[in-house]
Structure 1
Amino acid sequence: MKTIQGPALFLAQYISDEAPFNSLDSIAEWAASLGFKGVQMPTGDDRFFDLERAATDLDYCHDVQARLAKHGLVITELSTHLQGQLVAVHPVYDELFDGFAPEHLRGKPAERQAWAVEQLLLAAKASKNLGLKAHATFSGALLWPFLYPWPQRPAGLVETGFAELAQRWKPILDAFDEAGVDLCYEIHPGEDLHDGATFERFLAAVDHHPRCCILFDPSHFVLQQLDYLAFLDHFKDRVKMFHVKDAEFNPTALQGVYGGYEGWVERAGRFRSLGDGQVDFKGIFSRLAQYDFAGWAVIEWECALKHPEQGAAEGARFVTDHIIQVTDKAFDDFAAAGTDEATNRKLLGL
């Protein structure tokens, strides 16, 4: 068995124009002061990480790693969540998702998609240059407007959607395979890969590609009322990344999983800081230890109530307390009989 690495922090929700969150060195110093050992790096802000340069310049990669190492930190993984979203966008969301792309590509969905694909290909090279083993992204969605089957979905609509999604992602998966990096899709509402059934559809459509893997975030399963422990049992060989994020689901007479269009504070299902929600993290950390998960426990802070800096400080301690230092011996070794094959045969009457 392997001991999970951590705690680490996903920087996406912390980057801003205010100190200490406005430069790589200052945010690294802040994260290290809270006890973090790693950072998961978003790739959409060149002030912190230049994806194109990292894909082509080993010296740049070494410099970034050295700057983090001064604070006792490493990069756990890179993230292209926003770029991955743009690999597949239903036209109804074109205007909303334009904000995820550079300004000169807005209103140009075909060019925007080509840019997103190129970003993923750069991420594969950058991850290899950094010596990383996994990468975080979203699948994008062509079918999300048809999530609920009313009006009745036409025959073949879902199959056509997943075939197209797979066609777009196969070359990217091949690039990650060439780089020796697992491409981990966060199973997330709003994506075509939003639960176990949709991941299995996609996995079949990409011919069970060896690099098609999962970023496991139990908070999204709580909000969908999925069995996230059984999910780990089912997909243990595909789960290669872990976002430690809490959530709660408290249905009322007025709303359930769909939320009634309410804001995050008023929703029946909402994200919470670690320890404030309903996720069984003892069960999750136990499963991951049992299944030899060798990756990082990465906090993704999203909470409707608590300040992010409090969430980070409490979260670092929470993850540290939940990581299981796996044993290298059996608890009953003290009672070992020290038998050999001849004795075993004798005990069996052979």
Structure 2
Amino acid sequence: MKTIKGPALFLAQFASDEAPFNEWGAITRWAADCGYDGVQVPSWDKRLFDIETAATSRDYCDTFKGTAAENGIAVTELSAHLQGQLVAVHPAYDIAFDGFADTSVQGDPKARQAWAVQQVKLALDASRNLGLSALGVFSGALAWPYVYPWPQRPEGLIEAAFDELAARWRPILDHAEENGIDICYEIHPGEDLHDGISFEMFLDRVKQHPRARMLYDPSHYVLQCLDYIAHLDDYSERIGMFHVKDAEFNPTGKQGVYGGYQSWQNRAGRFRSPGDGQVDFGAIFSKLTTMGFDGWAVVEWECALKHPEDGAREGAKFVRDHIIRVTERAFDDFADGGADDAANRRMLGLEE
């Protein structure tokens, strides 16, 4: 057993052009004031982080970490979710995802993909220079438009998609190995890696690569009606990161998992601030502690109702209250009667 680190906060949903969310020193001071010990950094947001410089300069990384440390904040991980998304994009989503890329490659899917691959590699180099051990990403998706099998999928279609997805990610995973960094794929609808089975399909094609791991976010499992506790048992060896995000699923006679094209406020399944939804975080923290997960519990604020700053402050306390400080002794040590081999044999009736 190990004690989970935290609380930490994913900054992607908070970075903006308004103070204190537009500058690294200010946003880390704000996070500390909210009660956080660490932050997860969106590597694409130049207001907070320069990925190109971080990939080549340890001095930059030392200064970056030092500024946070002065405010009582650790850098927990980098996120390259948006760049990872662009490693594999089905043409149906070209326009929707184009804004994730640098303007120099927008409108050119091949150039955009090459840029995305290089960006993820830069994030791995930067993670090494920062002394981190894991990078959060999306896998991207080639097969997602065919997730529902109607019209009937042609034989081999999904296999071809996963073969290509693995071929694109294998060199990146090898680069991760060279840097000593785990790539943690967030298991997420909209990605080809959206549940355990699809993750296994990918693992098979990358030859069970040791650097291919999961970012566990139970909110996405609630909205898929997936057993998020059993999932931890099934993939305990592959859980590398943890997002604390809540969700609720309240189906009606009019809508269910697919949401009827409604807004987040009006969907049967929607994200909520930690503690406001249906996720059993007590069971999750107990399970992760028993498994020996010693990474960070990172609040990812996404809520259809609550103000983000309220969610952030409440989330810090929520995580702190759920972290289990691992015991160093058994609860019944007071009743230890002492024993030796001879006494054990007598207790078993084996004394000669």
TM-score range normalised by the length of the shorter chain:
over 0.9
Q: Secondary structure at the match of 2:345?
A: helix
What amino acid is the match of 2:83? Q
Residue 333 of structure 1 corresponds to 333
Partner of 2:2: 2
Question: How many angstroms apart in 1 are the aligned matches of 2:117 and 2:102?
Answer: 14
Per-residue CA deviation, residues 119-167 of structure 1 (Å, 9 max, x unaligned), is 1111111111111111100000000000000001111111111111111
Relative to structure 2, which stretch is displaced further, 310-319 or 340-349? 340-349
Tell me, in whole angstroms, the C-alpha distance in 2 between the residues paired with 1:166 and 1:334: 54
What residue identity is the alignment partner of 1:26? A
Residue number in structure 2 paired with 1:268: 268
* Percent identity between the two aligned chains: 65
Segment of structure 1 superposing worse, 338-347 or 59-68: 338-347
SS of the residue corresponding to residue 12 of structure 1 reads coil
Query: Do structure 1's residue 71 and structure 2's residue 68 form an aligned pair?
Result: no
Q: Aligned-pair distance for 1:344?
A: 1.9
Distance 1:307 1:47 in 2: 22
Tell me how far apart the structure 2 counterparts of residues 127 and 289 of structure 1 sit (CA, whole Å): 25
**Separation of aligned partners in 2, 1:176 and 1:208:** 14
For 2:303 and 2:344, the matched residues in 1 are separated by: 58
1:298 corresponding residue in structure 2: 298
The residue number in structure 1 matching 2:232 is 232
1:64 is matched by which residue type in structure 2? F
Output the aligned Cα RMSD: 0.8
3-state SS, counterpart of residue 224 of structure 1: coil
1:222-249 CA-partner distances (Å, limit 9, x unpaired): 1001000000011011001000000000
* Partner AA of 2:101 in structure 1: A
Shift of 1:181: 1.0
Equivalent in the alignment of 1:104: 104
Aligned match of 2:244 = 244
In the TM superposition, what are the counterparts of 1:1-350 in structure 2 within 5 Å?
1-350=1-350
TM-score norm. by structure 1 comes to 0.99
How far, CA to CA, are the matches of 2:329 and 2:195 in structure 1?
A: 36
Could you give the per-residue CA deviations for residues 159-188 of structure 1, whole angstroms, max 9, x where no partner exists?
111111111001101111111111100000
TM-score (norm 2): 0.98
Distance 2:17 2:220 in 1: 29
Partners of 2:232 and 2:222 lie apart in 1 by 14
Q: Could you report, residue by residue, the CA deviation over 1:261-320 in whole angstroms, capped at 9, with x for unpaired residues?
A: 000000000001111100000000000100000100000000000000000011111111
The residue identity in structure 2 corresponding to 1:111 is A
Gaps of 5+ in 1: none
CA distance in 1, matches of 2:43, 2:298: 16
Distance 1:253 1:47 in 2: 45
Shift of 1:342: 2.7
How many Å separate the matches in 1 of 2:277 and 2:261? 21
Q: Distance in 2 between matches of 1:146 and 1:332?
A: 55
In the TM superposition, residue 337 of structure 1 has moved relative to its aligned partner by: 2.4
Alpha-carbon distance in structure 2 between the residues aligned to 1:224 and 1:347: 52
Once the two structures are TM-superposed, the CA of residue 348 in structure 1 deviates from its matched residue by 2.8
How far is the alpha carbon of 1:346 from its aligned partner? 3.2
- State the alpha-carbon separation in 2 of the partners of residues 337 and 157 from structure 1: 65
Q: Secondary structure at the match of 1:242?
A: strand
Q: Distance in 2 between matches of 1:147 and 1:177?
A: 31
SS at match of 2:319: helix
Whole-angstrom CA distance in 2 between matches of 1:259 and 1:234? 28
AA in 2 matched with 1:268 = A
SS of equivalent to 2:311: helix
Q: CA deviation at 1:345?
A: 2.7
Tell me the distance in 2 between the aligned counterparts of 1:321 and 1:252: 33
The worse-fitting range, judged by mean Cα deviation, of 6-15 and 156-165 is 156-165
Q: Any idea what SS the aligned residue of 2:72 has?
A: coil
Number of residue pairs the alignment of both structures matches: 350
Find the residue that maps to 1:192 and give its secondary structure.
coil
Q: Secondary structure at the match of 2:167?
A: helix
Q: 1:297 and 1:69 mapped to 2: Cα distance?
A: 18
SS in 2 for 1:19: coil
Letter in 1 for 2:224: Q
In 2, distance between residues paired with 1:345 and 1:200?
A: 48
Rounded to whole Å, the distance in 2 between the matches of 1:135 and 1:48 is 17
Query: Which deviates more, 330-339 or 210-219?
Result: 330-339
**C-alpha deviations, 1:33-76, integer Å up to 9, x for none?**
01100000001122211111111100000000000001000110
Q: Distance in 2 between matches of 1:171 and 1:333?
A: 51
